[in-house]
Chains A and B, each alone.
Chain A
């Protein structure tokens, strides 16, 4: 699997984008409207809808968000696979036993 690591870290560097991932963790598959509503009412994020849409584009480019069209609606889904690749890079695939 090819991971665009640079994009990934830049995507995670932004506070609002991390909040979007938090909200998608709570409930996967949200419209832009729902994401904007959650950010505004739960996190006092006052960014415009256009700004949130651009944040979602960055998350999508990093492979953290996948968009799905269902009928006339577009839903955003969380994809944690790139994060798993990060964990494996430094932590290894298997947790090592501590030796005292």
Chain B
């Protein structure tokens, strides 16, 4: 068994695709119409055959309540790895990304948290 796919619940798939590709730098892997929504995944350009991230609609009312509660306390939905948190923070801030946590040294890991504009907070982490 292996992890093949993970999800973020987004409020708008087209907007999410723009943010996750044009701002974060992921690339689109799968885009299949599924009625009202799309089966829409992105991957890291460093690992095109690696874990796919599903940009899943947050249409279910419970998903919205869940996202609101997490965001209120600043809790990220998921984490992406980067080589250099400070550099990535600088790059993303230059692109207008809002951070709820500036880079902080947390011992074995440095982290920062930003708003993905689709209702989620995302943590970036640099493992030393």
Counting CB contacts under 8 A, is A96 at the interface?
Answer: no
> Is A30 a contact partner of B101 (Cβ separation < 8 A)?
yes
> Is A73 a contact partner of B72 (Cβ separation < 8 A)?
yes
Mark B84-124 against chain A: 1 for CB-CB distance below 8 A, else 0: 00000000000000101110101101010101000000000
> Is B113 a contact partner of A34 (Cβ separation < 8 A)?
yes
Classify the interface of chain B: helix, strand, loop or mixed. mixed
Known: A72-B68, A73-B100. A31 touches B106 (CB 8 A): no
Query: Which of A8-16, A36-44, A77-85 makes up part of the contact surface?
Result: A36-44
Q: How far is the CB of B67 from chain A (nearest CB, A)?
A: 9
A38–B109 Cα gap in the complex (Å)?
12
Q: How far is the CB of A19 from chain B (nearest CB, A)?
A: 15
Mark B63-89 against chain A: 1 for CB-CB distance below 8 A, else 0: 000001001111110000000000000
> Is B101 a contact partner of A33 (Cβ separation < 8 A)?
yes
Counting CB contacts under 8 A, is A49 at the interface?
Answer: yes
B interface bracket (residues with beta carbon within 8 Å of A): 10 to 19
Q: Which of A27, A41, A42, A74 contacts B74 (CB 8 A)?
A: A74
Which residue among A37, A38, A42, A74 has the maximum number of chain B CB atoms within 10 Å of its CB? A37
Hey, which chain B residues are within 8 Å of A49, CB to CB? 73
Known: A37-B111, A72-B68. A32 touches B106 (CB 8 A): no
> Is B102 a contact partner of A33 (Cβ separation < 8 A)?
no
Hey, which chain A residues are within 8 Å of B98, CB to CB? 71
Q: How far is the CB of B26 from chain A (nearest CB, A)?
A: 23
> Is B73 a contact partner of A42 (Cβ separation < 8 A)?
no
> Is A27 a contact partner of B102 (Cβ separation < 8 A)?
yes
Residue of A nearest to B98 (CB): A71
Residue of A nearest to B107 (CB): A41
Q: Which of B75, B104, B113, B115 contacts A38 (CB 8 A)?
A: B104
Hey, which chain B residues are within 8 Å of A30, CB to CB? 74, 101
Sorted nearest first, the 3 A-B pairs with minimum C-beta distance are: A31-B74, A33-B74, A41-B106
